[in-house]
Structure 1
Amino acid sequence: MAAIQHAACGVPASLYLPIARGAMNRNLYAGQAAARALEAVAAIRAGIAAPPDALEETARVLFGLDPGRLALAPPAEPVLLQGYLKPFAGVRHAHYPAVAAMAWRARHGGTDGITAIGIETYSEAITYAGNRAPGGAIQAQFSLSWATAQALRAGTLGPEAYRPAALADPETRRLEAIVALAVDPSRDASGTRGARLRVARGPEETEVVVDGIPGEPMDEAGVRAKAIAYAGPVIGRDAAARLAEAILTARADASFASCFAGPASGPT
């Protein structure tokens, strides 16, 4: 707890600016946070104390929370398990229009002749994922319009959606440029996550409405398949399968390093 109070004295929030500007330093945040955590523990062990109420003060200053009402989860409760695994690469907010676009493509085919695309969704999605004309992977991953265009164009939203070939594709660029984003007040009022997609092609306008993500939460087979599909091209399919299996079935007290143990397979 002393180490947590120590860490709370530092800047406890990341900047959104790297996403908006397309800077990849955001990908360092998790590693830097882990390194700072180790430094905080070492500092406490060395006798470098921290204020015992730093966590409460951080909550008050940064988030406007009443320190008296701040409650930590019980020590035995694994809060990490309350997270989620996303079915697609990219920010969660973009999943809803992407799913709608995939459904539209499955019904109507290719993108030739599309003249207008509209997305109505909750305001938070537009605030955090309203980046337009992305110039790099990180901007595209936080872009409702790019996710929609890519899903219409390719019918998928995997890692390939953010690689140079996709980012340079003229048709995907054309589609992204004609996407219009709008807030759906009813979703803000109800707190419902989802999106309405409208696509105009010739005299016809069709729409798809998505509330939530079908098939969520992901089952174990889906998690395993995604891990192998994403990591396989980098470390080899066999190595990815072995790693996924180790992580999914490892004992709670096993070290993370043990998940990488085993015979070499594929590139390292």
Structure 2
Amino acid sequence: MFESLHKTVYPLLEKRMEDTKRDSNLLQQQNKVGINSYTVALFDIGLTQAEKTRVEKNCRCKLVTFKKELFPPHVQQNSCYAWKPLIVLAASQHARKLIVWQDSSVRWFPSFLDNLDRAYTAGHQVLRYLDGHRIPANTLKETFDYLHEDACGYLPYPEIQGNLHIHRSDKFNQQVLFEPWARCALEKQCMCPRPPASVLSCSSGTLHRCHRFDQSAMGLLLSRIYQKDLYKVMFQEFVWEQEKGFRVQRGNVNRNYFKP
């Protein structure tokens, strides 16, 4: 599967780049993305029945239960995060323009819509921290080995965060990102080669010091595809300022959210 990327991904990428050079409009923000037609889906990866009932009653969204029992044991384990690429792949079968993935820590501001335009133009918008680490520091060697890659070749590339990412839903992204990412998720040795609790701590200063599961795999795949142009598919540099469109607030809880 991954060896075939050299036969399928790179020719597709080359064609996309040539098309972009011929059509300068692709380099400009098109303002084609609105939010008048959208579906909000909340994915249940372990809600109790009482929690599901409360969400169904109060949320203006579609509640989708991820059926873990259909997948290998490591996918059934939430802390391996293998469920996320499978959900995004499934969403790509239905989304007409964009897929916006975010967890419950993300808060939007009105200017967030600018990010939708950038994602539609560039193909993606993914998040990195200004003081973040390089991909090989926070990705296990087993994942590089499975993907037939040398970790040293990825030292220039920053770690991709998992809180929020936006992808254009098209055939190109389907073939070069969503499907390979999901394939990695299904293979324990690729996405979750060791017990998750044993690789969460990033205390040392060495390569392969810890692992970030779905983030590690996505960062590796995007870096392989875009290489020196990776910055073009990243959110603009920011320091959690409101005017950038969103903020990540881990641990933020509103216990009265469902109360009138």
Q: Same fold (TM over 0.5)?
A: no
Question: What is the TM-score when the length of structure 2 is the normalising length?
Answer: 0.24
Q: Which has the higher contact order (CA 8 A, sep 6+)?
A: 2
Q: Which has the higher helix share?
A: 1
